[in-house]
Amino acid sequence: MGKCKICGKEGVNISNVLGYCYQCLRDYWDSIKEEIFSLHAASRQSFGLPPYVTKNPKGIQCRLCVNKCVISSQEVGYCGIRKNINGKIGGGTIKGNLHFYYDPLPTNCVADWVCPGGTGSGYPQYAYTKGPELEYYNLAVFYQACNFNCLYCQNWSFKEGFRHPHWVSINELVEACFKKNVSCVCYFGGDPTPQIIHALAVSRKILKRKDKSIIRICWETNGAVNPKILKQMAKISLASGGCIKFDLKAWHEGVHKALCGVSNRQTLENFAWLASLSKKRPSPPFLIASTLLVPGYVDVEEVRKITHFIAQLDSNIPYSLLAFYPSFVLRDLPTTSFSHAERCMEVAKQAGLKRIKIGNQHLLGNAYT
């Protein structure tokens, strides 16, 4: 049972770790933001990550993402991977700090319910079969770095990878793609953004070598990448039959910063631009969105605004509502309830979205709150 420090409201959907309810995060953000950012800083300390977005006035600016870190000599950026090496920004380019594995299709990714690997969408140009590609694999590439700091990160253990990095070269990952019947490659994490130069190089080599075979290139990301780089990602996915999956974590910027440590403005702008391309290749879907339903914080009102935003761009964009499980710093919140998910599903329908799914249903709590 948590209690808000400002309004005194109590409830299971208020985190004592955060210390504030959703409404007060919105209404009093400017006065409490330093406290919240200190919480983020503390959560990063044990992993040796910079506590705040790096802004050294004597450094060089990294331009990969919304953070635009300014990094001094031998210092790393907020993501923990980009580094100023002898006056040049590098890291996560020639080799990637990552793990990869072969995931039999259909897999449980955010897009499985609409993508070629799970449904045969786009057959025969982009899929081998009219239904699920049962004899094929997704090469799942998990990058161990992120430009966000989500306090509820479901994959937070990747941060341990900074202590024990696992470096994989461009060619090694390309070769892995052709050792099995791989029909799609998905970059996720963490997030692919801090090591996007590596991922783009791998993708181009795969597509150049694949000849007439089908290999779709997909991205699962927070979407806060430099727009110029996003254009390269989009070009590759459009041509290969792949998709770009954006995690729209929250709508209100204060709530987003409280939960993730970073603004969502670049994410929303990038999503809007990608939506303008989505009609170029309606099948299989090019752009897909998802939102993790964090109890008490990513509530019905947040989902209402997110879904109105999506629907105004293109009502056919597939949208997944994902169940939350207590993890990383926000361990004092309950799992997403059935009623929360159902109410969010209803507002998504009211917004005009035509393709909606509740994912991770096995994690939904039984309580109707």
Q: How far apart are CA 209 and CA 180, in angstroms?
A: 14
Query: Does residue 115 have a known ligand-binding role?
Result: no
Q: Which helix (H) or strand (E) holds 258?
A: helix 253-260
8 A C-beta contact, residue 217 and residue 203: yes
8 A C-beta contact, residue 184 and residue 117: yes
8 A C-beta contact, residue 244 and residue 273: no
8 A C-beta contact, residue 65 and residue 225: yes
Residues 6+ apart with CB under 8 A from 125: 241
Query: Does residue 153 have a known ligand-binding role?
Result: yes
223, burial (CB in 10 Å: exposed 0-12, middle 13-18, buried 19+): buried
Q: How far apart are CA 102 and CA 179, in angstroms?
A: 10
Strands (E), the chain: 2-3, 10-11, 60-61, 70-71, 83-85, 88-90, 95-104, 137-143, 167-169, 182-189, 216-221, 244-247, 287-293, 319-323, 356-359
Q: How are beta strands 83-85 and 88-90 bridged, if at all? A: antiparallel
8 A C-beta contact, residue 113 and residue 321: no
Query: Does residue 243 have a known ligand-binding role?
Result: no
Peptide bond into 106 cis (omega under 30): yes
C-alpha distances out from residue 206 to 37, 140, 215, Å: 40, 14, 8
Which residues define the annotated binding site? 146, 150, 153
Annotated binding site for [4Fe-4S] cluster: 146, 150, 153
